[in-house]
Amino acid sequence: MIVEDDENVQVAVAAQLRGAGLEVRTTGAIESADQALRADRYDCVVFDRMLPDGDAIGYVHTRRRQGWQVPVLFLTARDALADRVAGFEHGGDDYLVKPFAMAELTERVLNLCHRSGIERPSVLSHGDLVVDCARREVRRAGVLLTLSNKEFAVLEYLLTRPEQAVGRADLIEHCWDELTDPMANVVEAVVKRLRRKLGGPELIHTVRGVGYRLGAS
């Protein structure tokens, strides 16, 4: 979950993390974040501190006292030592000052997700296809394949739902950012490249009128 009221930062960070294979939800206020966080489980939350409805540090402090354990990274322009210390004292697990490097943010978020206690397989497989999510390595019949971030994200998402029909809109929601044109052929283009790189026999099948399915036949 990304809680950031600066739309440009929100979109850029969401795109970066989705490119790293993460499922991302976004909002720009504490109230809407609280509703989402109480409704679903998240591996990590990235909070801008100063939001339209308050300082996120107070929200996190209150939730921690209630036993909430989801890892939190504060992403903020408040760079004074006292601010950073307060962030940790009130329940933050990490603190990154703006401006920041996207690569560093990604590694910090991935680390927090790993620590979240929500178990997920580090290696996914289907037939002779093996995807090491931690190392971001894909092998088919033992052969190492080179995939783009988007190709990896789509393949990983399909692997979490083997033999299930996954809708095109579902793939866009989980693997692309909010600016993606739903009418653009972005999914078809990525799937076409994936099929070519994965080789035969074909693993990604088109489900007419729905989307795609990962399966042996």
Find the CATH number of the domain harbouring 146: 1.10.10.10
pTM of the model: 0.56
Which range of residues forms the domain containing residue 160? 123-214
Predicted confidence at residue 205, as pLDDT, reads 93
Question: Binning pLDDT at 50, 70 and 90, where does residue 180 land?
Answer: low
Which residue is it, tokens 């490097």? Answer: 101
> Rounded to 5 degrees, what angle do the CA atoms 1, 124, 173 make?
35
Residues 162 and 88 grouped into a single domain = no
Residue 112 · residue 106 · CB < 8 Å:
no
Report how many domains make up the chain: 2
Residues 10 and 100 grouped into a single domain = yes
Residue where a domain terminates, one of 91, 115, 139? 115
> Rounded to 5 degrees, what angle do the CA atoms 118, 173, 24 make?
35
Average pLDDT, integer, range 46-51: 93
**What separation in angstroms does the CA of 129 have from each of 87, 151, 175, 202?**
43, 14, 20, 11
Residues 67 and 157 grouped into a single domain = no
Higher pLDDT, 114 or 13: 13
